Amino acid sequence: MGLSPFFQGQTAVIRLLRLMRLVRIFRFLPEVRILSASIVKSIPPLMSMTVLITLLLFLYGMAGFYLFGGQAPESWGNIGLSMKSLFILLTLENFPVYLEEAMLLSPLAIPFFLSYVFLIVFTVLNVLIGIVLNAMDEAREEDKTQKIQVRELNELSTKINSLESGDLNVTREIEKLRSDISKIESVIGASKRK
């Protein structure tokens, strides 16, 4: 048996750690790196939107429970079922079925469902998409800025290297220019005396 019982529960962890080697692929695929950076950047605003959507689902779930819960308990029987039905409606799946069923139960079904669709489905979900796209644009801009900075650093490094190797040439050029200036000054001074 040896160390086998010790590692028996740990093998899954070790296998998961081996999967972390896949992270190295981000160095070679810039689009994947940009996508992962945009996902990380969009997490805080997405959490805020999740709280907002949950609150709106709860409010509409309460309203749906009070409007339709007594007559349609399978979909609206409690607040949890109402929220589940509304969550399914986020994708507008079975929307006509839910609307027709609710129209038979209450005259407020049309304003309820239309306000839900316009407020949550169209507005809030479009804001979510905007958050993700904005985060992706920011990640692309940061990647572009980083590439520009790396290029500028490389250019500066080559300039510094060329100056370090050419220090003697620069001092010789300066001495040569000084002698040329003194020759020109002596010629100008001689022409002024005449």
What angle do the packed helices 30-68 and 109-116 form, to 10 degrees?
170
Per-residue pLDDT tens listing for the chain (194 residues):
445 555 566 677 777 777 777 777 777 777 877 888 888 888 999 999 999 999 999 999 999 999 988 898 898 899 999 999 999 898 888 888 888 888 898 889 999 999 999 998 889 889 989 998 999 899 889 889 888 888 888 887 777 777 666 555 667 777 888 888 887 877 776 655 55
Q: Which CATH architecture has domain 29-136?
A: Orthogonal Bundle (1.10)
Calculated CA dihedral for residues 186, 189, 190, 192, nearest 10 degrees: 160
pLDDT at 113: 92
At residue 108, φ and ψ (nearest 5 deg) are -90, 5
- Read off the tokens for 55: 């609150």
Extents of the domains making up the chain = 29-136, 156-194
pLDDT of 1 reads 45
Residue 80 confidence (pLDDT)? 93
By C-alpha distance, which of 108, 66, 109 is closest to 89? 109
Query: Among all chains, which residue has been given the structure tokens 């609710």?
Result: 102
* Ordered DSSP codes for 151-174: HHHHHHHHHHHHHHHTHHHHHHHH
